[in-house]
A and B are shown apart, each in its own frame.
Chain A
């Protein structure tokens, strides 16, 4: 196997492939950093071009794009409080707080280092553990997915801020908003008020850019007086040296490793990795932390956890696609169609019949990890310059980016209306001290939660108890209960202590 990898390394180590990876990473970083534009969309738009070039040029380009885009989203989450995609929203919780405290450099460099470790984990799992992880992944039917999503929803406990009740309120509203659209089983439109545009459901990008981007702009506008007064803005572009940051981050190695493992495992399950794992990693990091009260107020752990997790997904998500030909989400679907267009049919024979190309692919996934680090690092100083833009100009630019990004997803002006409506909803929530994260988390997970439960119930003839007969699902449900009970006990003790 190592021999194969080495000979593949030589195959991949040519200038075309390296340029393809580098270019993909750079484009990904830029697309990811722009609110509303996501790596997914970039890949979809650019994938047709890869049909007509050598497999070890086109596909590495897309992989670079995927990885770059996944990290790029954290740049805007940390620096301007607007996550590029739903996958980076968890990074915002503490990343943006760190930036407010003048620690943007630590946050963003830490995010890069965490991404590097996470990415490496996912890649190693892909190269060495693919068959084993795939065997677990294939056991995940609808009821297993339902249990896992239910478990992920308990993370609301950890992202609700000071008031759990308000967090649950926000989450419930997120669930309700997710019901708008078309019934996934019957196909009947529901809660659409007769609007054709609502039949596809609310666009998650419009929701994210509205809730975070537009809301933040509205909050900031309050602070603007006459133009002269707005001159006192932060120019804190200090970026510590790599050495300093590594020694800072290495104190949090436990968080990074745990989160990388979470990202790798959830990433290997088709379809739910990038949007679920950052939240689970964040919640579990807070749970394990000695200072959970710092989360949401600029805790470095709160940045490292989601970033390690979402980049670990990049490599792992390719496992079910390559081994079984089952793509989980649009990103892997695009990669798969690029592979098929090159005559590489994913499935049981892929690795046997196309050993050279697949090991070449593995090596380019590994190279992309380093390309991500190199170009991420090189462009950081450049991203930090965002902080020197005067607020009035910066926030107008954010609105412009949010509009362009959201519009371009489906070229729909209705989505823009949705974005602004959620901007206002977000503003009201923030004024009432209701956390926004639970709403987004619930919204993102609700669709899979509902679908997997309802499909699962059809298959077991509506007998809910059948879940307990499935070992994986039952175990996850047990863990869910455990998290809820321990959380309740801790909260109860806290209240008791504060009373005495």
Chain B
């Protein structure tokens, strides 16, 4: 199929439609609203369900209901809306029903702003709702990848009867890029055996998000943990750039930048620039933030001189990188908050600092300092004007 130019939000919506989403429930919030608007037009055209809910709280519970019926269902929102959905997500997790959530992140906390951010890492990857559960979290860095991961999200959600989320920021949601869309899939004809479809010719089904007895609730938790472990074993995905781990290779990356989504994309430019200056640096970009590629990072840490984590937040994935590296090498951090997007030059400077800091083998065990922004550089004018918009 020929490529077409599409906005991230609309491309995700069309990808979900082609993946066979049967119902969409959502609520307007910038910067994801185009996704909802696109669905409001396309879903009725195809005879599928679109409903604008009265709130994100209602939207996620509508999603919960449709998921209990065994239908492919999704919602989309942005950070404050996702906060409101956390209650519903906890119930969905307890019920083992598949749902797909798209979060187009914006600046926080509070009402924050509508500029791009990655500060929902904690609330999505760790899940802010009550109880022990973990969704699958997929983090695209291009509009094409967002399209591909949206289809994957539906497959994984159903395979494991879990929450699968596509986590991107306002840059990707709003950006237009050429994309190749997948073919339209046929809708499933029969709902799964556990679905709430009316007890016709069979014993009744129940979907119940509680267990009164401690033994039963522990059993439910153990089942969730078994599922999380299986997903961690089978579904880790990442991309690496300029990391040659071949023994004896002269291109071998000694420094590893770790960044996801838009930050990963910007970081790649910085990594390439640093390579040109002769610094042996590569990029590891997690695609599954959950399950996290901890084993791979631990492996890289065996030989790397140091790590630099770059995020559009105050250091959230940083914690998982540190856990993976396990003190084997210093881990520095560079992050921007408030809806700021890091610039390649700033990241390149941080790579140089890491290079200097880890130049001597004895420095390996020294924990790197955390820099929220380079103190020796004035804020860019362009960035200042961006934050004043709301």
Q: Are A and B physically bound partners?
A: no
**Chain A residues engaging chain B, CB cutoff 8 angstroms:** none
**Chain B residues engaging chain A, CB cutoff 8 angstroms:** none
